[in-house]
Amino acid sequence: MNFCLNFPLFLIVGSLLFSVISSVLPKKAARVLTLFLTLAGALLNLVIAVYCQRTGGSFTYLMGHYPHPWGNELRIGFVEALFSSVFSAVLFLTVVGGRTTLEKRVAREKGQFYYCMCDLVQAALLVLVYTNDLFTGYVFIEICTIASCGILMIRENGRTILAAVRYMIFSLIGSGLFLLGVIFLYAVTGHLLMPNLRESIAALVSGQVYRLPLLASLCLITIGLSIKSGLFPFHIWMADTYGNAIPASSGILSGLISKGYIFFLIKIIFDVFGTEVFYASGIHNVVFALGALGILIGSVSAIRENNILRMSAFSSAAQIGYIFMGLGLSPALGMEAALFHIIAHAVTKPALFLAAGYLSDSMGSAKKFRNLSGAGYVNPAAGVFFSFEAFSMIGLPLTAGFISKYLFGIAAFESTHNKMIPTLLVLAVSTVLNTAYFARTVLRIYSKNKEPGKFMRVAVKEQKNYMVSAAVFTALNILFGVLAYPLIDMLAVGLTVF
């Protein structure tokens, strides 16, 4: 059983190695490698999660057996293992489900690069979840940025390149600020490993010295990572980016990559600064306010949008707002709600983007609502799955979305700092707004087509991959929605050893 402690390193090295090999392989072989890798990531991490759950703790993996403060470490507990398992599983399902569009829209000779980038995304996400070293985190943040830029512009037209440039500019500003924050921390503490940083910061805080540099560094790190994950008002790159990329890329970007940065931020809050320092700094209030504003403004922008992919993009901005709102709410329940919402959104959004992409494809690449009437009849599978995912985004019972809204509500009742009323109000208003734009879309795709017979009904045979992946997404969503409580209890226990 102790052998499973090596799995994280195997997965990271494997992902990096496979991504290099994939670039010279034929497309099909590269796809097999990616599928193997992501599936292995999901299963092996599940094993680690079970192991950590049984032993009730976390373990530190010394790279090259150098003890701290010199070496580089990975640290894995239940929460980390669970999240990397979910991330890998979602990546697997998205690659499976998005294959048809990928092959249709991407030049034949470039297919393997897409899989190469997917491997890199997997490596970067795993490192962001596992690492115990801030600078390693910075390096893999940049790798993640480059890889996501690659999967964005794999379908090369002017708009995707422009979207990629905008995304890169925001991302680079974010990582620049993050780097400056890390350098400030290194300057005042002399450490980069999280346990050492935690000790030095606790000593500095209790000695009341270097308060300003610490606060500045916390600010810079929080702002940097929230720019990268697309918190309001930095969400403006999202609509162009997700609206023009192929659906699988939008799903990976909004479902996984943004979440990877947020998870890293949560890890920094817990392991580097400590929740006491974070919740005494006042930054959590700013994060809370921006999260709440992001929910409202993202939803309103989604209502005003007339393009199905851009609407889903603005809805992503709103969902990122939920996560940050939970983060700002309270260290225990709010954080649990935020973590659960990361999972819930990761199993919902990629499926929604895939379904939207297939609907639009079946109507001759139409993206505007006025051209999508009756799409649910032309492509019945995509229509059904789109409606289901939309219900989960609204938060109907039996779906994961319901549980996360419920958890935010509970967290609001138990929070002390005058945040109860705003949180509940935002939850109520945003549910109404969500319903407004998703109900409109679902009604539109099931409305009567003005020109019946113009588009052929899509055969099951043509999208077998997609149907399997969407069915698994739906099953996962219901699983998290129905059996949420055991998972939430385990998350709560896992957070104590985070």
User: Which residues here bind another protein, judged by CB under 8 A?
Assistant: 135, 138-139, 142, 145-146, 149, 153, 156, 158-159, 161-162, 164-165, 168-169, 172-173, 176-177, 179-180, 183, 186-187, 363-368, 371
DSSP state of 67: P
Minimum Å gap between C-beta 73 and another protein is 15
Q: Measured between alpha carbons, how far is 66 from 354 in angstroms, rounded to an integer?
A: 45
Nearer to another protein among residue 242 and residue 391 (C-beta): 242
Residue 193 Cα to chain centre, angstroms? 25
Shortest distance, position 145 Cβ to another protein, whole Å: 7
Of 83, 402, 133, the residue nearest 256 (C-alpha): 83
**216 or 467: CB nearest another protein:** 216
Nearer Cβ to another protein (173/493)? 173
Closer to another protein by Cβ: residue 93 or 458 = 458
CB 172, min distance to another protein, A: 6
CA atoms of 20 and 31, how far apart (whole Å): 13
Nearer to another protein, 365 or 496 (CB): 365
Contact assessment for residue 153 and residue 164, using Cβ atoms and an 8 Å cutoff: yes
Tell the smallest beta-carbon distance from residue 285 to another protein (Å): 24
CB of 142 to another protein, least distance (A): 5
Pick 187 or 428: Cβ nearer another protein = 187
CA 378 to chain CA centroid, Å, is 31
The Cα 442–Cα 460 span in angstroms is: 21
Q: Which two tokens stand for residue 327?
A: 């983060």
Q: How far is the CB of 152 from another protein (least distance, A)?
A: 10
User: C-beta of 221: minimal distance to another protein in Å?
Assistant: 14
For residue 21, CA distances in Å to 28, 124, 336 come to 13, 17, 39
The single-letter code of the amino acid at 447 is S
Residue placing its CB nearer to another protein in the complex, 138 or 278:
138
Please choose, from the candidates 229, 281, 231, the residue with its C-alpha nearest in 3D space to the C-alpha of residue 255.
229
d(CA 116, CA 147): 9
Instruction: Mark 210-246 as b/e (b = at least 16 C-beta within 10 Å).
Output: beebbebbbbbbbbbbbbbbbbbebbebbbbbbbbbb
